[in-house]
Amino acid sequence: MLNDEVKTYIRKSVLCWLATTDIDSFPNVSPKEVFTYSEKDTLLIAHIASPQTIKNIKSNNKVCVSFIDILVQKGYKIKGLAQVYEKSHPLFLEKAKPLLEIATERFPILAVIEVEILKVEKIIAPSYWLYPETTTEAGQIESAKKSYQID
């Protein structure tokens, strides 16, 4: 399910957004800075400071993760089933290894959230389908750089 394009967007994205629901079915969306994919085509997300996310996953493991390249304004949404590997779990270090390479010592990883992928959907800015004749990636990048005040 994770083809080369999806993996490229994961690598290019600064944040992903992990959506969960609590026991009363209220949504919770939390940004995650440290995330990647595994060789087994699952998402790996570091739990650094999101106790509500962990609590929600333990009561309802259905999640949605989205990530975009903010300049091109394209990305992906992934729906799946999450499992939490806390430090006491025998597989924690194995699951955490690729995340530790990203986080280094800067971020303490309290647990690893592994998402078994059930569905992958593309995300694109509305400009691409509203104005396909005039919207280009180069134009989107130029516009985003102006908006974000990037030289």
pLDDT tens, 18-62? 999 999 999 999 999 999 999 888 999 999 999 999 999 999 999
Burial class of residue 111, CB neighbours in 10 A (0-12, 13-18, 19+): buried
Domain 4-125, architecture per CATH: Roll (2.30)
Q: What is the number of other CB atoms lying within 10 angstroms of the CB of residue 70?
A: 19
Residue indicated by tokens 């516009």 = 143
- Two tokens at 131? 């104005």
- The pLDDT assigned to 1 comes to 84
Work out the number of other CB atoms within 10 angstroms of the CB of residue 139: 12
Q: What is the pLDDT of residue 151?
A: 83
d(CA 101, CA 149): 30
Model-level pTM?
A: 0.92
Per-residue pLDDT tens digits for 67-117: 999 999 999 999 999 999 999 999 999 999 999 999 988 889 999 999 999
Query: Of 22, 110, 34, nearest to 63 (Cα)?
Result: 22
pLDDT value of position 149 = 92
